[in-house]
Structure 1
Amino acid sequence: MRKYIFILLVINYCTSCTSPNGEQLSRTEKRDHILKNIVPPTISQNAMLLTDFGAIGDSLTDCKPAFDEAIKICKEQKGGKIMVPEGIYLINGPIHLASNVCIELQKGSKLVFGSAPSDYLPVVLTSWEGTFLYNYSPFVYGYQLENIAIIGEGTIDGNARDSFSKWAEHQKESQLLSRQMNHEDIPLPERIFGSGHFLRPHLIQFFECKNILIEGITIKNSPFWCVHLLKSENITARKVKFDAFNRNNDGFDPEYSKNILIEDIDFNNADDNVAIKAGRDHEGRKTGVSSENIIIRNCRFKGLHGVVIGSEMSAGVQNVFVENCTYSGYCKRGIYLKSNPDRGGFIRDIYVNNVEFGEVEDFFYITAYYHGEGKGFETDIRNIFVDNVKCRKATNAGLVIQGYPSKKVSDVYFSNVHIDSCATALSFTNTENIVFDDIVIGQEVKIPSHAK
């Protein structure tokens, strides 16, 4: 295996930004300014037991009516905390949340969702792979709500391995129809899916919500994406554990959303751990709401990819901080930024600091030509700052940047990067102003040998 060493000293590149009053903010100042705007909701002290509404944790009794009644009472009383004691609770249909409601899954409790598709009808307004449409309800759904929380030491189990997950084999026709509706700007009321279609519902979705807390719970066996944060803001997710191995079981998918803190998470997903999105193609550009101000820290990655931006990101992604994270198992790619010339939009002001991976296929990968397709709407990718990152082994490539001929990836700054071994150290095409400072790929070369 070839070994490479790159030690290029570059002085005075700037990782700061400008505040509205013209002052320069450092990376940490910018991050801390964002953190001030992320405040978890206050949890209601109006506590009630789900079992008082007829729920039985015997894995057989349908407890959806109990949830519906408890949430109704919470709405009437302007808020409440629904406590779910130890037991296995079958839920045949979706839980539709209300503002000022907290669900506390106590230790030993598990919500197991039923697998009959008809239980998740009528259709609700949602989004699927970056296109707004009406589809089966997400299993836990919040629409235009405030001050909502799901906390505790219990589990939400989508129970989808042998049911909804298998729909992926039959989804192509409906998937292509949704994209056609997107590109042709078909009116939203005409985008009706649900029965007769095979677009899998999300496990948890917050849509146009604000002030959200997800803490402590375990999430497993999702039908599709696990937690979809759609057009929402002020979100805290911490100490969540994932055990999700079905197809497209992303962990967190922020989309058109902002002011998000994802911290101290144990990922174990069959797909992306965090995938930041902002709409697909025409509709994303038309919506024009960027995903921004997202902090991912102190997490342990395991799954397909650690942190991904794209590929549905047509409204743009900016101000993302990935810091103080490590790995608990294999990831195909560590950090992955992807778009193509169908998307447009931008990816900018991305900060990766103090991050470590073990064995991966590719360590750090940027592509503006994802799947080698698209035309007419190139993505502007710039201002990427990577500092103090490590990887033990990259079986394919260490650092990859693939720009587009008419829109090069620019202004990417690597410092303190150490990769112990990899097949290909660097692969940069259609790039400009890529800056290195203290890069070691392979075994570090020290004092030069001399003639004897």
Structure 2
Amino acid sequence: MFKYLLMLLTAFSALCIESFARKDEERIAKRDSILKNIVPPSFPDNHFVVTKFGAVGDSLKNSKPAFDKAMAAAKKKNGGKVIVPPGVYILNGPIHFVSNVNLELQKGATLVFGTDAKDYLPVVFTSWEGTMLYNYSPFIYGYQLENIAITGEGVIDGNAKESFNTWHGLQKESQLRSRKMNHENTPFNERIFGEGYYLRPHLIQFFECRNILIEGITIKNAPFWCVHLLKSENITARRVKFDAYNKNNDGFDPEYSKNVLIEDIDFNNADDNVAIKAGRDYEGRRLGLITENIIIRNCRFKGLHGVVIGSEMSAGVRNVFVEDCTYGGYCKRGIYLKSNPDRGGFIKNVFINNVAFGEVEDCFFITSYYHGEGSGFETEIKDVFVNNLKCKAATNAGIVIQGFPTKKVTDIYFNKVLIESCKKAISFTNTENIVFNDVIIGEEVSVPSHVK
């Protein structure tokens, strides 16, 4: 009997190893096919230097009119490069992009946005926490455009610490109003916020745009999410640095978007480094615009959470690759997939490969019951593959998976995981088919002791 059992265990182990190898081949093929569809935009060889349109980088003069004129001139010539020379430029109001424009912030150039909320009116069509509505304009905003970029070695400073950041404690009534409109399917043109409400604008938002490049810049002090990529596709973000400590200062938020490459980023955010989203509750399920084909690689994580999927993900998220990433400092959680039974939708085909964290609270966390609330629309979470995940210390938990009684989390595979120390190793509830191969949580056990 023992010999038979040993043969079964050996066969099962070999089958698991073969399965992991096969899945890794599938991962590489799928990732490479996605990468072929992500191509940075190119631009006409026209230059529009903002100082020639009246901008002054003296940290005093309002240069917004000059930026507007430069964008208009670029549009008239069918695009080109809007160049910002070294200097500190005050912008009392938003930059509204046009197609075929690369906004180049040269080394030593800083954009500082004004703090008067009225300067970001009239309201524009946007989204807030997964609900479509009209609100203050994002500080840099592009709607239904193609071939757009922000590049260079300059800085975008939202300057929001003492202004919009303070709205966080005042937003609840407006937040609940937006969610009620979502659940009741209120027509978009009746969802008017802006003045008299406290929904903070995004720093950068590209909405229904194609062919986007964000490269080299430093982003700091945002009023809300830093870079919101909404209903957009073919996006490259690389060599960006974050220094964003305000409330809800997520780094990148791709939502209802596809074919996104985020690489070589230095994160330092008070909130999620990357938060992958796909709409909230009824509206997300109704629109059904899946967020898919997201590749995150060669990044340094630092902030609240490294990579998050959710919690607004009601249309579904699939084909997410996190590869060859490490940490630049502390994260509360490393990898975090979160939903609740108000959302519905799905999370599937997530690949974590060669990722390391230092000290965290929780290394890897999946929950179907975020905030312990919701009913009626459980989320399907399945097919998550974790290979070569390392963590120095988890002060709370190593690996947590929380399914829902009527919709269990299934088919989660761990291969070569090392969590050097943690308070709690594993906590699984409402799960099925969780597979481990070469997993060490806590100090590795070596040769067993024996009687001397």
Q: TM-score range by the shorter chain?
A: over 0.9
Partner of 1:303: 303
The Cα of 1:26 is off from its aligned counterpart by 1.1
1:69 matches 2:75: no
Q: Deviations along 1:388-439, whole A, 9 cap, x unmatched?
A: 0100000000000000000000000000000000000000000000000000
Partner of 1:333: 333
What does 1:411-430 align with in structure 2 at a 5 Å threshold? 411-430=411-430
Conservation of the 8 A alpha-carbon contact between 1:95 and 1:139: yes
Structure 1 length normalisation: TM-score?
Answer: 0.96
What does 1:253-402 align with in structure 2 at a 5 Å threshold? 253-402=253-402
Partner of 2:200: 200
Distance 2:56 2:157 in 1: 17
- Equivalent residue of 1:306, what SS? strand
Partner of 1:87: 87
What does 1:65-144 align with in structure 2 at a 5 Å threshold? 65-144=65-144
Partner of 2:5: none
The Cα of 1:15 is off from its aligned counterpart by 7.2
Identity %: 71
The Cα of 1:12 is off from its aligned counterpart by 3.6
1:171 matches 2:177: no
Q: Deviations along 1:360-401, whole A, 9 cap, x unmatched?
A: 000000000001110000000000000001000000000000
- Equivalent residue of 1:225, what SS? coil
Report the residue type matching 1:293 in the other structure.
N
The Cα of 1:80 is off from its aligned counterpart by 1.4
The Cα of 1:442 is off from its aligned counterpart by 1.3
Distance 2:332 2:199 in 1: 26
Partner of 1:245: 245
Distance 1:373 1:434 in 2: 25
- Equivalent residue of 2:254, what SS? strand
- Equivalent residue of 1:89, what SS? strand
The Cα of 1:14 is off from its aligned counterpart by 5.4
The Cα of 1:16 is off from its aligned counterpart by 6.0
The Cα of 1:448 is off from its aligned counterpart by 1.9
Distance 2:405 2:376 in 1: 12
Conservation of the 8 A alpha-carbon contact between 1:148 and 1:212: yes
Report the residue type matching 1:193 in the other structure.
F
Conservation of the 8 A alpha-carbon contact between 1:304 and 1:331: yes
- Equivalent residue of 1:68, what SS? helix
Structure 2 length normalisation: TM-score?
Answer: 0.96
> Greater RCO between the two (CA within 8 Å, min separation 6)?
1
Distance 1:439 1:144 in 2: 47
Q: Deviations along 1:252-297, whole A, 9 cap, x unmatched?
A: 0000000000000000000000000000000000010011000000
RMSD, aligned α-carbons: 1.3
Structure 1 segments of 4 or more deviating over 6 A?
A: none
Conservation of the 8 A alpha-carbon contact between 1:356 and 1:389: yes
The Cα of 1:47 is off from its aligned counterpart by 1.2
Structure 2: gaps spanning 5 or more residues: 1-9
Report the residue type matching 2:217 in the other structure.
I
The Cα of 1:48 is off from its aligned counterpart by 2.0
Partner of 2:3: none
Distance 1:243 1:15 in 2: 39
Report the residue type matching 1:299 in the other structure.
C
1:431 matches 2:437: no
Conservation of the 8 A alpha-carbon contact between 1:15 and 1:27: no
Conservation of the 8 A alpha-carbon contact between 1:43 and 1:149: no
Partner of 1:209: 209
More helix by share: 2
The Cα of 1:239 is off from its aligned counterpart by 0.1
